[in-house]
Amino acid sequence: MPWTISSSLDDFRARAGGFLAAHPAANTVLLTITDRLAARGPHYYGDGVPVFGWWRAEPDGPVAGAFLRTPPFALRLGLMPESAAAELATELATRSAAGPAGGAALTGAAGGAAATLAFGAAWAAATGTKGAVRTNERLYRLGEPADPPRPPSGRSRLAGAADRELLIRWLTEFAEAVDIRIPDVATVVDDRTAAGQLHLWEDGGRPVAVAGASAVIAGMSRIGPVYTPADARGRGYASGVTAAASVAALDRGAGEVLLYTDLANPTSNSIYQQIGYRPVEDCVELAFGG
């Protein structure tokens, strides 16, 4: 099989790192996850053993596909042909359930829509377990930055140590609202605050919204999370803080600034386009069983 599967982050970065960096938009999640694993260790996302893989069309050919998994999270597909995604599903389905990438332990898959749906179809054929669509998202890339059409009152600033408890509460609320898991919210807040990655919007001296901008990796930075507490919504704060975080990412050297939106939320898809974001690809997350 042309897939190579490993539990070694060093091997993955050595073999697939150039491929990931050559396609930073399609591989944005893999780039940020591997960066955090390298900095914080293999159990940053949970107690399970991470699994990595890279695909070549020919045994001696260049890497042309990659995936990773940090249990208990879903498998994450990077850029790859649909045929490679189907091959991967078949390969994982035949592995022992006791192994780190064993089929019985796989609860979901996410990535570009075409590859992920091909993976899901092959997984269903091999295991009898169909994938249910959990989320539909769209990946956007910043084109020409623009101010919000109705700029909100207030200003942007970097989050600091004094904002820690507020940010822990907000990121917890954000995770609950969008139904995602953040393994250790306090650690995430501390790491991202120290790195200057969390931007607050203040109005009247009071923080009213937050937007993150990831580290620049392979010329790419990704915006997220973006959150406004319920009592401050409808005033344009999310647009303002996202625009500010996006410009800050450009100022730090990002050639590509990316973000994901939930396609079920027409408001966010509209406001991000108003400040200069343009669609790149649609993405999907599938849940298997349970």
- Grouping H, G, I as helix, E, B as strand and the rest as coil, residue 157 is strand
* 65 in Cβ contact with 58 (< 8 Å): no
**What's residue 1's pLDDT?**
56
Would you put residue 122 in left (φ > 0), alpha (ψ -120 to 50) or beta?
Answer: alpha
Q: Is the pTM of this model over 0.85?
A: yes
Under 8 Å between Cβ of 213 and 245: yes
Contact residues for 79 (Cβ-Cβ < 8 A; gap 6+): 19, 23, 26, 27, 65, 66, 112, 115
Give bridge partners of residue 222 from the DSSP assignment.
258
Any idea what the Cα angle at residue 252 is, between residues 246 and 257, rounded to 5°?
Answer: 35
CA-to-CA distance for 42 and 9, rounded, in angstroms?
A: 8
CA distance 173 to 26: 28
For each of the chain's 290 residues, which pLDDT tens digit applies? 589 999 999 999 999 999 999 999 999 999 999 999 999 999 999 888 999 999 999 999 999 999 999 998 999 999 999 999 999 999 999 884 434 444 447 889 999 999 999 999 999 999 999 999 999 999 999 999 999 999 999 999 999 999 999 999 999 999 999 888 888 999 999 999 999 999 999 999 999 999 999 999 999 999 999 999 999 999 999 999 999 999 999 999 999 999 999 999 998 899 999 999 999 999 999 999 75
**Strands, sheet with 3-6, edge to edge from the N-terminal-most edge strand:** 3-6, 51-56, 63-69, 75-77, 108-112, 277-288, 131-142, 256-262, 220-227, 206-213, 198-203, 155-158
Structural tokens at position 263: 């396609």
Instruction: Residue 40: name the closest of 257, 187, 206 by CA.
Output: 187
- Distance, in Å, from the CA atom of 99 to the CA atom of 115, rounded to the nearest integer, reads 24
Residue 105 pLDDT: 73
pLDDT value of residue 47? 87
Alpha-carbon span 59 to 172, nearest angstrom = 45
**Per-residue confidence (pLDDT) for residue 102, from 0 to 100:** 42
Of residues 120, 194, 199, the one with CA closest to residue 157: 199
Q: What is the pLDDT of residue 100?
A: 45
The distance from CA 184 to its chain's CA centroid, rounded to whole angstroms, is: 16
What whole-number distance in Å separates Cα of residue 8 and Cα of residue 15?
Answer: 11
